[in-house]
Structure 1
Amino acid sequence: MNLISKEVMHVGEMASGAALTVPVYRIKGKQQGPDVYIQANMHGAEVQGNAVIFQLLEQLKTIELNGSITLVPYANPVGCNHKNGEYTLGRFDPITGVNWNRMYHFDESIIEPFAKAHLTDSIVEIERAFKALMVEQISQKLNHNIYGITTGQRIAYQLQRLAHQADLVLDLHTGPISSKHLYCPDYARASAEYFDIPHVLFIPNGFDGALDEATFCPWWYLQLKFAELGRDFPITKTATNQGKDAVIKESFTVELGSQEQIDLDVAHEDALGILSYLQYQGVINSNDFHPKTMVRYSCMLEDYKALYSPMGGMVDYLAEFGQPLAAGEPLARILRMDNYGDGDPLHYISLEDDVIPILHFASASVNQGTELYKVFSKYSIL
């Protein structure tokens, strides 16, 4: 039976002086292996990840670990509690308007001097020193910023400091009304097949403010810089190295379905899919977890398109998630009762290309220009 430790991390203060806190659970592995960081609920309404963390903790009680695992539910206590009537908002910081998942930090200028200073060091020495550098950078942002930082940055940086101490990072999210999909860095394509997720978005190996990017980009850029300097520094498992003589550094955003709801039975299945990936990476000492056989569709991020409503009205969402939809087939129909009797009350929305619908807007009531759907516009079978 594994010992699960718990601490409460103080991430800020409210106007009343009440503390903003986040629970942090840790399970320490008995052997040498990759360390893992998993967080959930950075966006207030995206709650299924908390149920998945619960199911992971239940499973991990009795699984032998090679590496250690840190799990953080309720990662954003402000977003979790940002309600408007019966709805949870919590996608954007209500003070600054910034997306909660765009406040993480990466400074590319650290890469070149570090690579030159550590060019002849061992892989173990490089990994230890680079982790320490990234943690120290975040600590400096937190504790030595003359002009201070925002509430959202204070929360994000403390989460990021935990994530930088890991080798594998999973950030659990959901969409509005959504199918399951995975944001996968382009260099880590081989790992996508080990999650039980049928739709994969391959994202550029660059930084745009999200946690997955903030934790894999430093290692990716370091690999590139070492290559320029004539040194091989692999950061992912391949068919040739199988993780040997490499530091395995991967981060993913895992989209677990729709917001504002949890399903503990589905969360159990989601947890098994994550354990399949962790087994592949050697985190757990087991042979019990394997990816499901399924058709997996992939799409480049640049081909992940938003469809905006051409008019206001009441929307009947017709397209089935995750299934190819032929060009010209309707995704939705919009009801305009103001046109009844002297116009056309029904308008069908379709596209000229084959697509796979992935998610749609949470409400049936839309303004002209509301994002109706997100779709894979150019896709292939993984």
Structure 2
Amino acid sequence: MSINNNFTKTVMSVGEMASGAKLTVPVYSFKAEQSEGPSVYIQANMHGAEVQGNAVIFQLLELLKRCDINSNITLVPYANPVACNHKNGEYTLGRFDPITGVNWNRMYHFDQGVIEPFAQENIDESDEAIEAKFKQLMLDEIEQKLDHNIYGLTTGQRIAYQLQRLAHQADLVLDLHTGPISSKHLYCPEYAQASASYFDIPHTILIPNIFDGAMDEATFCPWWQLQQAYQNLGRPFTMGQGLFNKESFTVELGSQEQIDLDVAHQDALGILSYLKYKGVVADTEFTPQQMTRYACYLKDYKALYSPMGGMIDFLAPFGEPLTAGQPLARILRMDNYGDGDPLHYISLDDDVIPILHFASASVNQGTELYKVFTNYFKL
């Protein structure tokens, strides 16, 4: 079947190498005949080793060209070409900018100082005017960063701002990632908890209205904080409805350094289930799977660090509640064999759900071994 006539592909230049070669990313777009639902932006592979999202975007493209689309959808695989190509032997090291040391996913922009003045200046505007003017303000902020920064930008900032310029034009934003060795999980704004049940993802981390530099925060925090500013001025809006129908998620698709196209197809169906719920696609076939979904708040998503160096044997399976006192892992210390204890078991005093663990069996004291849900509950 040929691709929908409203499908386009462009190439966006996001930087230049020392040789003058351009760094580019592909941008795929579907344009609705009449845009009636919220617009969508989906990107993948901001971190170099986190490649499964590219396979999911491929499967989404294959499915979307057969869908009845109600709004505009933009998809960007290989979002960070520097990170994609940052190899050391057989490993991809593209989690941090090798020049600055900054996490690639902590370079997006949001100036909280623009919120209160905007709300005060536009208190009597119509809902439609507020939405249009605030979206333009977010875009103008990015354009100012890209085109009028007299001291220049780092490579990571230039990439991030150009991606963010695309994301700010959308109402729904999905940033596709993976963990080291990981189960599937979702970072979801607290106000959008109801939407989490429409993804085929069993674990959800509910995150607050705090900007820490990530793409999801850069695209939902401005609207959430604008809502709060209007409420303080006596004009209430409700996040997820009408003017403030804005949602952003970081979607963690499993483990890094590998793709599985069959699993990616299932991941794409889960994303389309969410997009159907939001009115983006009209196809009735996309429905969420029946599963037990657990959630916890970000403050209760805890990291466990190794109490000693050694070789670790990860024992606890992902995604299953582990009762207090049950072992998550054991550490082998061959240097203790014959005159000490070569095996050390690691457990916690709380009930937890293991979500991800370190990628290597060789750990130093203080290595982050696991991330776990505590104080979890069912959605």
TM-score by length of 1: 0.97
Tell me, yes or no, if structure 1 residue 315 matches structure 2 residue 312. Answer: yes
Letter in 1 for 2:141: Q
Match of 1:17 in 2: 20
Q: Does 1:43 align with 2:47?
A: yes
What pairs with 1:122-137 in structure 2 (closer than 5 Å)? 122-137=126-141
Across the aligned residues of Structure 1 and Structure 2, the Cα RMSD in angstroms comes to: 0.9
Structure 2 contact 223–244 (Cα < 8 Å) conserved: no
Task: Report the residue type matching 1:195 in the other structure.
Answer: F
Task: Report the Cα distance in structure 1 between the residues aligned to 2:286 and 2:122, rounded to whole angstroms.
Answer: 38
- 1:75 counterpart = 2:72: no
Matched, 1:209 2:213: yes
Separation in 2, partners of 1:289, 1:136:
36
Moved over 6 A (4+): none
CA contact 2:57–2:268 (8 Å) conserved in 1: yes
Report the Cα distance in structure 1 between the residues aligned to 2:282 and 2:375, rounded to whole angstroms.
38
1:247 to partner: Cα distance: 3.3
Contact kept, 8 Å, 1:30 with 1:64, in 2: the verdict is: no
CA distance in 1, matches of 2:208, 2:234: 24
Aligned to 1:29: 32
1:2 equivalent in structure 2: 4
Deviations 1:39-60 (A, max 9, x none): 0000000000000000000000
Q: Are the aligned partners of 2:192 and 2:240 in contact in 1 as well (CA < 8 Å)?
A: yes
Q: CA deviation at 1:117?
A: 1.9
- In structure 1, the partner of 2:245 is 248
Q: Deviations over 1:340-363 (max 9, x none)?
A: 111111111111111000000000
1:229 paired to 2:233? yes
Q: Please say if residues 128 and 243 of structure 2, whose CA atoms lie closer than 8 Å, have aligned partners that are also in contact.
A: no
Q: Are the aligned partners of 1:2 and 1:63 in contact in 2 as well (CA < 8 Å)?
A: no
Contact 2:40 2:173 in 1 (8 A): yes
> For the residues of structure 2 that align with 1:127 and 1:252, how far apart are their CA atoms?
20
> Is 1:62–2:66 an aligned residue pair?
yes
Match of 2:331 in 1: 334
Instruction: Report Cα offsets for 1:313-344 as digits up to 9, x if no partner.
Output: 11110000000001111111111111111111
Post-superposition Cα deviations, 1:4-49, rounded to whole Å, max 9, x if no partner, equal: 2111100001111111111100000122221000000000000000
- Secondary structure in structure 2 of the residue aligned to 1:191: helix
* Aligned ranges 1:1-382 → 2 under 5 Å: 2-3=4-5, 4-31=7-34, 32-237=36-241, 245-382=242-379
Amino acid at match of 2:23: L
Cα contact 1:180–1:257 (8 A) shared by 2: yes
Specify the SS of the correspondent of 1:341: coil
Cα shift at 1:192:
0.7
| Distance (whole Å) between structure 2 residues aligned to residue 99 and residue 378 of structure 1 | 28
Give the whole-Å Cα distance in 2 for the aligned partners of 1:96 and 1:324: 39
Q: Secondary structure at the match of 2:311?
A: strand
1:246, 1:112 → 2: CA distance? 17
> What is the CA distance between 1:205 and its match in structure 2?
1.4
Gaps of 5+ in 1: 238-244
**Residues 102-128 of structure 1: CA deviation (Å, up to 9, x unaligned):** 000000111112112222222111111
CA contact (8 A) 2:300 2:375 kept: yes
Work out whether residues 305 and 374 of structure 1, in 8 Å CA contact, stay in contact via their aligned partners in 2: yes
Mark the runs of 5 or more structure 2 residues left unpaired by the alignment.
none
2:244 match: secondary structure: coil
Corresponding letter in the other structure for 1:45 = A
How many residues end up aligned between the 2 structures? 375
State how far apart, in whole Å, the 1-side matches of 2:333 and 2:33 are. 63
Q: What amino acid is the match of 1:5?
A: T
Superposition deviation, residue 154 in structure 1: 0.3
Using the TM superposition, give the Cα deviation of residue 285 of structure 1 relative to its aligned residue in structure 2, in angstroms.
1.6
| Distance in 2 between residues matched to 1:199 and 1:357, nearest whole Å | 10
The CA distance in 1 between the partners of 2:340 and 2:232, in whole Å, is 65
1:179–1:359: 8 Å Cα contact kept in structure 2? Answer: yes
- Deviation string, structure 1 residues 131-154 (Cα, Å, up to 9, x no partner): 111111101001100111100000
Offset at 1:234? 2.4
